[in-house]
Amino acid sequence: MASGIRLPSFSLAVLLFLLLSASSPRPSHAKIEIELWRGEQRKTDPSGGFDPTRVTQLSWQPRAFLYEGFLTHEECDHLIKLAKDKLEKSMVADKDSGKSIMSEVRTSSGMFLSKRQDEIVARIEKRIAAWTFLPDENGESIQILHYEHGQKYEPHFDYFHDKANQEVGGHRIATVLMYLSDVQKGGETVFPNAEGKHSQVKDDTWSECARSGYAVKPKKGDALLFFSLRPDATTDEYSLHGSCPVIDGEKWSATKWIHVRSFELPEKHRSSEDCVDDDALCPQWAAVGECEKNPLYMKGSKGSLGFCRKSCKVCKS
């Protein structure tokens, strides 16, 4: 387990050059120049800017990386606003059938956004693809989660144990977990099997749950990327992870699961005449009211077909 190792980048090299070559009190000016460059990049880059100098490698087993300030506070607040009045009890995938079921293993509430929800969501989707080097079409829609006092998600794997869920997109290869709020205490993401769980120093600000493995504190705007599959595509048991119970405050997060191959049917292969579901979970989502709560994704609009047209009964046949 290595901690605090920053990935090299062009922007870091520029800053170092300016600092070393300065003959007057230039360091502060150099820092300002770099920060201005970052700001301009966010304005001109359609993905909202990707800055590798903010990425820290946390672990190789599992492969895990932390991006500080991946989202702006305004983006975090926007995602929460989109989800607040559409939350439902979170479900888990049954190991045998692959169907979504309720379980005390996961006590949060959540909802899914459409990839085309609005410009801000689309920008975040592009930023995720730029960071992970994984195609946008391989990803599921972003899920917004809300944890209140005592709510948690017991340690689990993001790769699938059943074959039904692997039919569309294959295994989940990676997860991007974005923290949308600070948490006063608790709510940490914990990896019980991580190689560095005994070497991470923790003081009394960490919860008891976080002490059971390598843990990451939720910080508004930060994002955690970890891989559920090894580079040889075998499942990684080190990727076991959970969300510790919230002790003080509340926790908002956004999860992006990414598969080994395309998770969606390309628009050019989809017809408005097709009365089909593009996801095996559409019937379950429709049963809990997602057709009305998340219409852009479920039913679609004039410019985009929905992914659960059959279950939402919006087509002719």
Lowest average pLDDT, out of 131-135, 137-141, 171-175, 266-270, goes to: 266-270
Q: Quick one: 176 and 100 in the same domain? A: yes
Max Cα–Cα distance, the chain, nearest Å: 75
Q: Quick one: 64 and 121 in the same domain? A: yes
Higher pLDDT, 86 or 176: 176
d(CA 302, CA 283): 23
- Which pLDDT tens digit goes with each residue over 194-209? 999 999 999 999 999 9
Instruction: Supply the range of the domain harboring residue 27.
Output: 5-44
Number of domains in the chain: 3
d(CA 147, CA 243): 9
Please give the C-alpha separations between residue 83 and each of 114, 117, 140, 163, 310, in angstroms, as whole numbers: 11, 11, 17, 31, 24
Q: Quick one: 217 and 177 in the same domain? A: yes
Regarding beta strands 55-60 and 214-216, do their DSSP bridges make them parallel or antiparallel, or are they unpaired?
A: unpaired
Q: Quick one: 40 and 78 in the same domain? A: no
Q: What is the pLDDT of residue 78?
A: 97
The percent of residues in the chain predicted with pLDDT above 90, rounded, is 51
pTM for the predicted model, two decimal places: 0.69
Contact (Cβ atoms closer than 8 angstroms) between residue 223 and residue 70: yes
